[in-house]
Amino acid sequence: MRGHSHTIVVVVAAAATGYGWWATGVRPFTPAAYLAVALPVAAVAGAGWWWGRHRAPGRSPVRGLRGAAPWLGLALAGLGLEIAGLALGGRSPRVPTLSTVVDHALAFHATRLVVFAAWVALGLALLRLRGRRRPRSAP
């Protein structure tokens, strides 16, 4: 039984790696590129929607803007870093903007695969966040 589940993990990991390799190899601005991103998004959004409908009653740890505030704060911090980098020199290698860092990270197929895997892992983390629930607080 243990060997069987191990085989499943290996097969899923190989399939995910193959999908990631294909997804990071297609040209941007093409239907294949949109499809490559849309499939994981649809899977995470669909699973989260299903989870929300079928889980036991209880409050999700993320509810409303207050729950999302740390994540939104991180996004705003990234935006602020980008604006500061642009204000301090744009594409200067001494003051790299987020875009310059991303340019280096996406320059090679293998590094694009790593960034894509990190993006998918973030989506799965969001899904786990959706599944977690905290008990209702006493009135």
Which residues are near other proteins by CB under 8 A? 23-24, 28-29, 33-34, 36-37, 40-41, 44-45, 48, 52, 60, 62-68, 71-72, 75, 102-103, 106-107, 112, 115-116, 119, 122-123, 126, 129-130
Q: Do 23 and 34 form a contact (C-beta atoms < 8 A)?
A: no
> 10 or 73, CB closer to other proteins?
73
Distance CA 16, CA 37 (A): 13
Q: Which is nearer to other proteins, 41 or 88 (CB)?
A: 41
Q: Report the b/e string of 65-100 with b at 16+ CB within 10 A.
A: eeeeeeeeeeeeeeeeebeebeeeeeeeeeebbeeb
Nearer to other proteins by Cβ, of 13 and 118: the residue is 118
Question: Rounded to the nearest whole angstrom, what is the least distance from the CB of residue 69 to other proteins in the complex?
Answer: 8
Token code pair at residue 1: 């039984």
Closest distance to other proteins from the beta carbon of 38 (Å)? 8
Nearer to other proteins, 9 or 32 (CB): 32
